[in-house]
Amino acid sequence: MSSASEFRERPWWLAFLDRTNFTVAALTASAILFTRSAGVVYFSTGALACSVSVQILKRGIQQPRPALRQTKKTYGMPSTHSSSVAYYATFVPLACIYLPMHSSLPPIARVLVPVIVVPWAALIALSRVWLGHHTWPQVAVGCAYGIIFAGVWFLLWARGLSEYGVVAEGLFQSFMR
């Protein structure tokens, strides 16, 4: 964790990017609550699974973070933030292109959401190096992991698991009445 004085010395946008895990978690939770969609829950579960699996990989690889910045106690390879945002930046556009839109979302969301998510994810991944939390290879491996994980997770949904989502959503809707 960064010290308070170090946090104040950074430009506001870099300080914001350093804390995006809270923003991303809040936006994801809001999407679940707003849509009440099994697909959004599935997507969110994938993001969590991606993050947890990277944490397990880190313990196995045990590559330290950059020497300039030893404020974090965990290992650096691969970058968890980078894998998570790469997951978002891959899954969201795939879902917007290939899956039907949830009825609670306006049609413009199909274009607007990826236009926001992809550049924001890229900025977050780059900021991990700018902030000194990771090296370029740690971020690159994290991004590659997130992209592959999202691709596989999306294919599982698109090729059959979505049928269970429709059933689960129907049960949930009947329960909510």
What is the total count of domains within the chain? 1
* Amino acid at the residue 132: G
Give the torsion sign (CA, 151, 119, 55, 96).
negative
The whole domain housing 23 covers 4-176
Is residue 14 scored above 90 in pLDDT?
Answer: no
Split at pLDDT 50, 70, 90, the class of 1 is very low
Find the Cα–Cα–Cα–Cα dihedral 54, 141, 111, 151, rounded to 10°. Answer: -70
- Residue 165 has what pLDDT? 63
What does the alpha-carbon distance between residue 67 and residue 34 come to, in Å, rounded to a whole number?
A: 43
Q: pLDDT tens for residues 27-73?
A: 777 776 676 777 788 888 899 899 889 889 888 877 777 776 556 67
pTM for the full predicted model? 0.77
Split at pLDDT 50, 70, 90, the class of 9 is confident
Give me the phi and psi of 101, to 5 degrees please.
-75, 145
Cβ contacts of 129 within 8 Å, gap of 6 or more: 135, 136, 139
